[in-house]
Amino acid sequence: MRMSFGQEMRLAQKQVLAPRMIQSMEILQLPVMALEERIEEEIQNNETLELEETGQEGGTGDTQASNAADETVVSSRTVDEQPLIVDQEHANQADFERSYDWSAEYPDSDDDRSRPSASQIDQAGDRYLDVMANMAERPETLFHYLHEQLPNYELTPAEEQAADRIIHNLDVNGYLLLPLEELVDPEGPAGQLECLQKALRVVQSMDPPGVGARDLKECLLLQLTPDFPEAARLRRLVGDHLEDLAANRLPLIERRTGFSIEEIERLRDELHVLQPKPGAAFTVPLVPPVKPDVFADQMADGSWKVRLEDVNLPNLRISPTYREMLMASDTDPATRDYIKRKINSAQWLIDAIEQRRSTLLKTAQAIVDHQTRFFAEGPEAIEPLKMQQIADRIGMHVTTVSRAVDDKWLQTPRGLYPLRRFFVGGTMSADGEEVAWDAVRIKLQEIVQGEPKESPYSDDELVEELAKRGITVARRTVTKYRKAMKIPSSRQRRDWKIARGPRPAEP
């Protein structure tokens, strides 16, 4: 059945909006550092997307703003609706003027004035040494640590080369996951496999213990040297029953080994001192830097204003050159279609970034407006807040709010906080007001710190103490938070304080 014109239009709109909506959601969810990387990647992959130049000589601010408005396409329209007209001669001239000034970087003149003086060279050298001295020392790698041990063994050049090849193929945990046969050079001399086998035994005898193992069982067995306590029993347990141990099939192990359940449990506990990943100690965990996406500043009247930290984001525009090529009558259809797709893709990115700015700004401002007491009085004054409340306040779907706050950080005078930190549940106080769970935890910590040392409060007494402060919670809630905060029970706290003894008298 043939579709009507209206149906065809609606279908076309769905086909256009679907990828645009997906991209908008992806861009919204990106933190500012990831967004910077995404923009750089898009510029490299899409030649119709370019950075907008600002502050060019020979024009006033009004003229530059006007030119930017003319050249930058920041709307939801696709290229079919855009007036793509540009002065090609001026565009080429601007591109030429923006080219790198090689003459300034590499002058042809031999004038001594262009050469650095001896004092300037010394100063530059001193600055370089200062920088090098203040750089963090690069941690030692497993590769270098093992190579430093090679001279301790009497190896032939071929064996040393084989050991080097094995060390090169260890993974970050110190395991050799490739079969030795795959390390043999097809064009090399005969006897390589035997040489590799001897080299592997050498590597496996190196520090850290267990390095060079092919699997977990071999890794543990390498660490169970004869001088290890109860090495024989442990080797039997690991060699024959490691899978049963992992599955907690202790009765089966008891029947097959004759060890009692108590012995098996004790031996299993001793295995915990072994290192299942020998190379892990040389792996420095990568902690990504946190960069605030939004800032909360207090105004003169006491109110709070949110601003975005996107000053490093480049201003994007559609390339005037490609816009002109799209409109040129001599552009062949295939090229025109390619340029059209690229420009539409660039336009979608520009729109998505603009939408991200608007959504993030409205979301963060609504959060700050709700949590004003937090910024004025501290974490104990945080208010209960649900995402649905913010969604209703700014007129957006709750999933949009969730994406907007995901992995976003807010810089405040009190510190740097993830935006999700401000969404907390709560309970009713004695006077009928909602109290955030974070405030309950802070009060609980204060009560425990100030309790009598001879008779710490039980969980029931903690409930009573919280009630005296206007917070009504159930006993199971107090127990849950106490354990989550790693606060021992009242008996454990009392025994611990008795073991510490009385504090010394004040001088």
Q: Which residue(s) pair with 435 in the sheet?
A: 427
Binned at pLDDT 50, 70 and 90, residue 495 comes out as: low
Question: At 19, is the pLDDT very low, low, confident or very high (cuts 50, 70, 90)?
Answer: low
What's the angle, vertex CA 87, arms to CA 86 and CA 92, rounded to 5?
110
Taking the C-alpha atoms of residue 468 and residue 451, their distance in angstroms, rounded to an integer, is: 14
Query: What is the CA 325 to chain-centroid distance, rounded?
Result: 41
Range of weakest confidence among 104-113, 209-218, 231-240: 104-113
Q: Is 468 exposed, middle or buried (0-12, 13-18, 19+ CB in 10 A)?
A: exposed
Instruction: Tokens for 273, please give them.
Output: 């001192």
Which of the four pLDDT bands, split at 50, 70 and 90, describes residue 217?
Answer: very high
Calculate the dihedral angle through the C-alpha atoms of 102, 106, 109, 111, rounding to the nearest 10 degrees.
140
Could you give the residue ranges of the DSSP H alpha helices within 329-436?
333-370, 372-377, 387-394, 398-405
Q: With contact defined as beta carbons under 8 Å apart, do 293 and 32 qualify? A: yes
Q: 426-500: CATH homologous superfamily?
A: Homeodomain-like (1.10.10.60)
Confirm if 328 and 361 have CB atoms less than 8 A apart: no
Q: How far apart are CA 136 and CA 255, in angstroms?
A: 56
Task: In whole angstroms, give the CA distance from residue 86 to residue 324.
Answer: 6
Residue whose tokens read 């590769």:
143
Q: How far apart are CA 269 and CA 264, in angstroms?
A: 9
* Mean pLDDT, residues 70-74 taken together: 39
Region 184-196 average pLDDT: 84
- Rg of the chain in Å (alpha carbons): 34
Collapsed DSSP state (helix, strand, coil) of residue 318: strand
pTM: 0.47
Closest by CA position to 390, among listed 408, 410, 375, 370: 370
Sign of the torsion formed by the C-alpha atoms of 412, 414, 416 and 417: negative
The verdict on whether omega for the bond into residue 208 sits within 30 degrees of 0, i.e. cis, is yes
Let me know the angle formed at the C-alpha of 318 by 317 and 322, rounded to the nearest 5 degrees.
Answer: 150
DSSP letter for each residue of 429-463: BTTS-EEEHHHHHHHHHHHHHTS-SSSPPPHHHHH
Number of Cβ within a 10 Å radius of residue 240: 13
Tokens for 132, please give them.
């090098």
pLDDT in tens, 406-447: 889 999 888 888 998 888 765 554 445 555 666 677 778 888
Who wins on pLDDT, 18 or 90? 18
Residue 77 has pLDDT above 90, yes or no: no
Q: Give the per-residue pLDDT at 216.
A: 92
The rounded distance, in Å, linking the Cα atoms of 26 and 352 is 9
Helix or strand or coil: residue 306? strand
Among candidates 358, 365, 485, which has minimal Cα distance to 419?
Answer: 365
| Cα–Cα distance for residue pair 379/381, rounded to 1 Å | 5
Delimit the domains of the chain by residue range: 142-282, 426-500
Query: Residue 136 above 70 pLDDT?
Result: no
Answer yes or no: is pLDDT of 392 > 90: yes
What residues does 66 pair with on adjacent strands? none
* Whether pLDDT at 261 is above 60: yes
Percent of the chain at pLDDT exceeding 90:
17
CA distance 400 to 360: 10
Query: Dmax of the chain from CA atoms?
Result: 97
Which range (239-253, 265-279, 357-371, 451-465) has the least confidence?
451-465
- 211 pLDDT tier (thresholds 50, 70, 90): very high
Measured distance CA(439)–CA(44) in Å, rounded:
49
**Both tokens assigned to 149:** 């041990």
CB atoms within 10 A of CB 130: 10
- 142 and 282 in contact (C-beta within 8 Å)? yes
* DSSP, res 136: P
Distance from C-alpha of 182 to C-alpha of 196, rounded to nearest angstrom: 11
Q: What is the pLDDT of residue 505?
A: 40
**Residue pointed to by tokens 């506990």:** 269
- Which strand (E) or helix (H) includes residue 296? strand 294-298
